[in-house]
Structure 1
């Protein structure tokens, strides 16, 4: 009897092994092949950073999350591109740090927590100061009073260039945020997390309107939405199972989610949304949000609403895919879910373009050139 039980148990193990190999081997080969293709693209695309003989004093945003990952990405890129880097917070004695480290330039991210008196003290030391505004045009009521204290102003929104020039800033440049390849990159995600379409972001009212109309068209797909305020949806209770409500994901988790889905939707925030908006000038936004670069860096197909400046950074239908209406979004999602080879081709093109042109190393090279040579 015992021998019969052992033989039966052995047969079950062998059957399970055979079934696991039959089902798992193709998936493992497919995942490994995809990761290899992505790695090949990254190695071809990423430029080798060259350190400049320059000293940089970097002042963090001082705001914590979600700004701290941007600070981290910029500091990492600075260490790759500048020979001397000093990092301080806005509440530090900035002038003393500048006098001690003798930087050639100071870069401040966001600048809303940094006293303009401290900036002026650094200016008097002969250090060229630069501010990089991260939330234009949504906080221009505040940044209007900050910008003129810096030698050079950088904004991620092209339509803000005349806004700052009209307020006395003599050196203003357009510089969107970039991506940190250590945070946003291709990943081999657990099978249990995989889906077809996802969106991660806050439910501003234009996004609510978009998804009120889009969800019924794509809900039959494996759809996942994550972020704040999605209970604003007209039929939230109907779609509750598709939504992680109130979740604010950090970069690694966000990149994991992007990688786990075959299509990631991008929808830009409206310039006149009244939610946490301090844009009394009603400056319309035409430039891509940071999510544009982060999705592309994760090697997934991006379906994004069309902003005027996107064509400066990506070629539509070759590196990303754009939509003009909920119906077009749904139609293109169905198309690319049914055409895997095309989907992968565009995703890899977007990955290449991002790693070649849109990392923080690339952005900081531009920022340092413009500040020091301006």
Structure 2
């Protein structure tokens, strides 16, 4: 019996080796195909980027700006940096500080043409009043409207000029007595959010990055089984709230806060990136007791599009001011519609890529922080 078993083992060995060689060969073939396809796509994106940036020269204002960054650290620090870089390229003199510093003393010493405060939720308005009393103009750019309007309503009237990323908040601040209020959404930083060559481990069919607010959970509960059947990746906090968390556990990077580069890599590696806006009546970390609605796209809208990823986003009514649904972005209004569109675009690769490419082109032409700062400075320094 022992001799017979050894003979069978000898017979199986060549079969096993043949299968292993065939598996390695198939792996090389598949890997080469995937690498070639992504390389070709990456090259196309770079070509389109050159066209997007062609002739894009921002005017330089003869102005001294004192920029007050949030100083909050991550996740605000990339926003601080992106806006500082855009300002640096468009004014003749830029001084940077943050909300934790004696800004009024700095402004009194250097006498800037304008002080621009980002967010401002942790900046003492007494310093704003002191600067205005010294004849120094001030402006604030709110970054989280309408979710903190209970707080910003007490801040906005202290400034000469108010910028908000939410269209419905323009009238809200005007009704508070602010005479100079402007709608200015955030955008994308093309130094971070752009076509990239992600690792194989960062490539998936479907991707969502964000926190599991309760209203998001209610929606995702209805698509969990579908997402569990696909190559899906979710990253963020609180996703254990899902009703069927066990089905998705292996596809969720729980509790992760990713920096902009890693986030951009995940967007680049996905065939479809889901965007779901935070509900204005969400109970979690919400200071919007007046019930102001939300119609404007979130910053993630521009960041996903900048990565040339097919973006599947929920509907916000002012989205059409920035993108054209079905042309350079795709929308959904129900769990069933989300599933149907994911199925369709996973099966129609060329159509998916063309929409993603158009979204990237439009973003780089119209929705970068360079463009936002150009608009901001045009308002502050007309003519």
Query: Normalising by the residue count of structure 1, what TM-score does the alignment of the two structures yield?
Result: 0.92
What 5-or-longer segments of structure 1 have no aligned partner? 1-13
Query: Which of 320, 324, 336 is matched with 1:311 structurally?
Result: 320
Measured against aligned partners, the alpha-carbon deviations of 1:276-307 in whole angstroms (never above 9, x if no partner) come to 00101010111111110010011100000000
Taking the TM superposition and a 5 Å limit, the aligned residue runs for 1:208-287 are: 208-287=217-296
Q: Is the 8 A contact 2:225 2:247 kept in 1?
A: no
| 1:370 equivalent in alignment to 2:363 | no
Measured against aligned partners, the alpha-carbon deviations of 1:10-46 in whole angstroms (never above 9, x if no partner) come to xxxx999987764444333322211111112222113
Query: Which of 35, 43, 48 is matched with 1:28 structurally?
Result: 35
Partners in 2 of 1:368 and 1:239 — Cα distance?
A: 46
Partners in 2 of 1:354 and 1:121 — Cα distance?
A: 39
Taking the TM superposition and a 5 Å limit, the aligned residue runs for 1:145-224 are: 145-224=154-233
Q: Is the 8 A contact 1:133 1:155 kept in 2?
A: yes
| 1:110 equivalent in alignment to 2:124 | no
Partners in 1 of 2:347 and 2:178 — Cα distance?
A: 51
Partners in 2 of 1:238 and 1:335 — Cα distance?
A: 23
Partners in 2 of 1:111 and 1:356 — Cα distance?
A: 29
Measured against aligned partners, the alpha-carbon deviations of 1:73-121 in whole angstroms (never above 9, x if no partner) come to 0011111111111000112221232233332111101101111111122
Helix, strand or coil: the match of 1:137? coil
Give the superposed CA RMSD: 1.8
Helix, strand or coil: the match of 1:302? strand
Q: Which has the larger radius of gyration?
A: 2
Query: Which of 66, 81, 91 is matched with 1:82 structurally?
Result: 91
The alpha carbon displacement at 1:231 in A equals 1.0
Partners in 2 of 1:23 and 1:236 — Cα distance?
A: 32
Paired residue total: 361
Moved more, 202-211 or 93-102: 93-102
Partners in 1 of 2:37 and 2:100 — Cα distance?
A: 50
Helix, strand or coil: the match of 2:221? helix
| 1:38 equivalent in alignment to 2:41 | no
Query: Which of 56, 62, 70 is matched with 1:53 structurally?
Result: 62
Helix, strand or coil: the match of 1:213? coil
Partners in 2 of 1:38 and 1:156 — Cα distance?
A: 28
Partners in 1 of 2:201 and 2:236 — Cα distance?
A: 20
Q: Is the 8 A contact 2:65 2:112 kept in 1?
A: yes
Helix, strand or coil: the match of 2:337? helix
Equivalent in the alignment of 1:334: 343
- C-alpha spacing 1:43/1:107, structure 2 compared with 1 (3 Å): same
Query: Normalising by the residue count of structure 2, what TM-score does the alignment of the two structures yield?
Result: 0.90
Query: Which of 288, 293, 300 is matched with 2:302 structurally?
Result: 293
What 5-or-longer segments of structure 2 have no aligned partner? 1-20
Helix, strand or coil: the match of 1:316? coil
